[in-house]
Amino acid sequence: MVFIIGEIGINHNGDIEITKKLIQIAKKAGCDAVKFQKRTIEKVYTKQVLDSPRQSPWGTTTREQKMGLEFDKKEYDVINNYCLENKIEWFASAWDIDSQYFLQDFNLKHNKIASAMLTDIEFLNLVANEKKHTFISTGMSTMEEIEQAVKIFEDSDCPFELMHTNSSYPMKIEEANLLCIPMLKEKFGCNVGYSGHEVSAYRVSLIAVGLGATSLERHITLDRTMYGSDQAASLEPAGLYRLVRDVRTVNSILGDGKKRVWPSEVPIKEKLRKK
């Protein structure tokens, strides 16, 4: 069964009520988990970047924009309790070491390595030492960089699975390169999922599942026209409902690969092979 993740990320726009609605939608759709992103703004971005002008609902600088999108302990306590009440898992991708320490305060089953963090050795070692099942996104990464990350998790005896992805937002269909899924699976002998950033064309995600993806992550939103850099590459509720339904159907269609004579075939076999 494919593990389906509704990536809320920063599509909540700093609003806990929007967050709750997105959690409800993911639960109703049949997602296994929702995911967020956690950053220590002053450490992830330089002062020059943070001081640069940027118009947003929170002000006129990049700092105000980033801070407006960032949840802290108070909001994550609400998220944690709300997900427990609604019986859906949550976890987050940390973008710096302090944020990973922050997430350790919660009883999370999974970790996530964002593509941007794949080459941060200190960070990878910190996460691997937690020994939690970790999804490792491989966007904008070379095979050598992926090998280096895999070795850290193998050496730490930390369970993991890679996630094939393209880090463009939105992704061009011709850059999906989904044959990387079976290639990575064979190369590293591990499960491989798919994190999709394509616009609307959720058939890409279905093909990924058909090629053996064991997990699927898609950004979700209430409305793709909302403010935010990830909104356009996200699925609205109706699209998410269809995606989860069709992914589960693909699982059923693929079966287990064991050749058998189905009960429905028995009378046909007896009739057609009498001679």
pLDDT for the residue 200: 63
- Spell out the alpha helix ranges (H) of 121-226: 121-128, 143-155, 180-188, 203-210
Q: Which CATH superfamily is domain 3-272 in?
A: Aldolase class I (3.20.20.70)
Up-side HSE of residue 40: CA atoms within 13 Å toward CB? 10
Q: Quick one: pLDDT band at residue 201, thresholds 50, 70, 90?
A: low
Q: Quick one: pLDDT band at residue 275, thresholds 50, 70, 90?
A: low
Reading the block at residue 15, the tokens are: 């609003």
Instruction: Tell which residue, 45, 69, 12, 24, has the closest CA to residue 231.
Output: 12
Q: Are 62 and 45 in contact (CB under 8 A)?
A: yes
- Residue-wise pLDDT tens digits, 170-190: 888 899 999 999 999 999 999
The tokens 């709300």 sit on which residue? Answer: 82
Lowest pLDDT segment from 12-16, 27-31, 52-56, 269-273: 269-273
Q: Are 160 and 136 in contact (CB under 8 A)?
A: yes
The DSSP symbol for 235 reads: B
- The full set of domain ranges for the chain reads 3-272
Exposed e or buried b for every residue in 208-223, given b needs 16+ CB within 10 A? Answer: bbebbbbbbbbbbbbe
Would you state the torsion angle of the CA atoms of residues 56, 79, 233, 175, taken in this order, to the nearest 10 degrees? 120
